[in-house]
Amino acid sequence: MSTSSLGSGSGRSARAGRRAGVGVTRPGLVWAVPATVFFLLFALLPLVLVAVLSFTSWDGVGAPTFNGLDNWTKLLHDPVMTQSIWLTLVLTVAGVVVQTPVSILLGVWAAGHQRNRAVLSAVFFIPLLLSATAISVVWRAILDPNFGVPSQMQWLFGDGNLMGSQSGAIAVLTFVGMWQWTPMHALLYQGGARAVPQVLYQAAAIDGAGKVRQFLHITLPQLRNTMITSVILMLVGGLTTFDTVLILTQGGPGTDTTNSAYYMYQQAFKSFDFGSGSAIALVLVVVATLISLAVVRLSGYDKMRGTTEGL
């Protein structure tokens, strides 16, 4: 830790500096105190509290009272809970499967030297600027079966009630998720693709490899690390999809699109059963933390590498 924190600028001179005993002034820990205290109070304290609250019964107004494992046993036998976990997995996997190929292609394209690239990519990345709320509201209006686009394009949409069935509603959520997140992941891949050494392509071209083979045998393997980061971000995002569900489907039809995050919101803030809500939240925390540990391990952030390479 202490050796690598000396900076990535130039390892040799850092070591030389230390050997020569140059006394470099260093900030004390006190510089980290304000941010850390703030973060502990507003992000980590709630994390501990959610565990405590999951063993209580609380209606949001009075004081929470302990009820042991009641919330947990209730959840175990709750068919909606089981279904919501299944749904969360389906939405998450669908998101990764749909977004990954599109964002790789788009990112690799944007890293190249195509004509009109600047103008086109300026348009491509507009979804990044919009709030999930705005995106959901717009798509809901556009996909409205009576007044939206389906009513004018019946050759494509049939009766147009896309969100009336479970498979339709899941498809809509996946599509809107793709619309919203692909640009962000394309940006990651664009950075990754730019960092691929040109020598590799030149060597491949001399060997007579075409564009497609270059893409498959050079670009894709070289993007492995970017892919890990991107997929993990998609997993965490997919697990916690909430705004789009709330606005596009309200978890419906019935409970057909009630994923865990939405179910947690419903239990806590609609049914005022904050204990059960906390238990669901805790499940989300544990899963997300496991994934975050994976981020730290797989991406090498914990080795404190410079993070600007590839930008």
Partner 1 sequence: MRRRPNYLAGLGSLVWLVVVGFPLYVLLISTFRTRSSYSSEGPLSFPEHLTLKNYVDDFSNGFGQDFLNTVIVTVSVVAIVLLVVPPLAYAIVRAQGRTIGTVFRIFLLGLAIPAQAVIVPMFYVISKAGLYDHLIGIILPTAAFCLPVCTLVLTGAMRDISNELYEAMAMDGATPWRVFWQMVVPLSKGGLSSIVVFSALQAWNGFLFPLILTQSESTKVITLGLYNFQTEHGVDVPGLLSAVVLSMLPIFIVYLFARRALVQGLMGVGGK
Candidates 19, 21, 77, 308: give the one binding partner 1 (CB under 8 A): 308
Which one among 97, 293, 298, 303 touches partner 1, defined by CB under 8 A? 293
Is residue 298 within the footprint of partner 1 (CB under 8 A)?
no
Q: Do the Cβ atoms of 50 and 282 come closer than 8 Å? A: yes
- Give the Cα separation of 72 and 278 in Å (integer): 10
State the nearest-atom distance from the C-beta of 256 to partner 1, in Å.
Answer: 20
Is 157 an interacting residue with respect to partner 1 (CB under 8 A)? no
Q: Does 2 bind partner 1 (CB under 8 A)?
A: yes
Size of the site for partner 1 (CB under 8 A): 130
| Contact flag: residue 104 with partner 1 (CB under 8 A) | no
CB of 68 to partner 1, least distance (A): 18
Contacts of 106 (CB under 8 A, 6+ apart): 124, 182, 183, 186, 189
Residues 256-275 that bind partner 1 (CB under 8 A): 261, 264-265, 268-269, 274
Min dist CB 91 to partner 1, Å, is 14
* Window 29 to 58, contacts with partner 1 (CB under 8 A): 29, 31-32, 34-36, 38-39, 41-47, 49-50, 53, 58
Q: Which of 93, 132, 200, 231 binds partner 1 (CB under 8 A)?
A: 132
CA angle (229 as vertex; 14, 12 as ends), nearest 5: 10
The answer to whether 128 contacts partner 1 (rule: CB under 8 A) is yes
